[in-house]
A and B are shown apart, each in its own frame.
Chain A
Amino acid sequence: GAGVSQSPSNKVTEKGKDVELRCDPISGHTALYWYRQSLGQGLEFLIYFQGNSAPDKSGLPSDRFSAERTGGSVSTLTIQRTQQEDSAVYLCASSFWLAGGLGTQYFGPGTRLTVL
């Protein structure tokens, strides 16, 4: 597609349920990023993929969070046993991998997650 897409755009769930968020990056972008943004706050880095591998998962807030990327394209972020503090907008971005530094990131519109 022309840009990064994310689904769903909004998700309301009950505390304790699992949710799966999807990100479709720009075709050809090898790098993919997940961020979380709470209301009125900056972006919290969660995880980065280069191809299908994530070199460092320490940015994930807890072991309830996991992410995968298959085929070097679509990525899913899964949150198990959701808590109210997980409520936020989850943003995905993709970029070409730039050998000399961080590549320009193209962001999706985000998924607004509300945990009741």
Chain B
Amino acid sequence: SQQGEEDPQALSIQEGENATMNCSYKTSINNLQWYRQNSGRGLVHLILIRSNEREKHSGRLRVTLDTSKKSSSLLITASRAADTASYFCATAPGTSYDKVIFGPGTSLSVIP
């Protein structure tokens, strides 16, 4: 698998349900970030979790990080139609900030 690989590739849920997306990576990291992209243009930063953190919350978002498994999950609770977007995780191996790796993303569709 690739560094920063998300799964599932696509997810379709009903409004009000929770959505969970996963990200796996291969090398050691200092932090991991999640981004959202609407309409194939600019990405918006959602949340950053540091390697010494296990869980972080921001509004309806909950991110977990398991460095032993080199994986992270993004949970969106009580989803809304406006959450329909592609979600990407991003990492930079170790201190190599010049090798930013984004996964292929999870396409989330929230059906009203």
Contact = CB atoms under 8 A, between A and B. Distances in A.
A binds B: yes
Interface string A29-53: 0010101010101110101101000
A39 B29 CA distance: 28
Chain B interface main SS type = strand
Interface residues of B, number: 29
B43 to A, nearest CB: 5
A101 B30 contact: yes
A54 B101 CA distance: 17
Residue among A31, A43, A59 facing the most chain B CB atoms (10 A cut-off): A43
Chain A interface main SS type = loop
A55 B88 contact: no
A104 interface: yes
Interface string B80-112: 000000001011100111111111110000000
Interface string B1-29: 00000000000000000000000000001
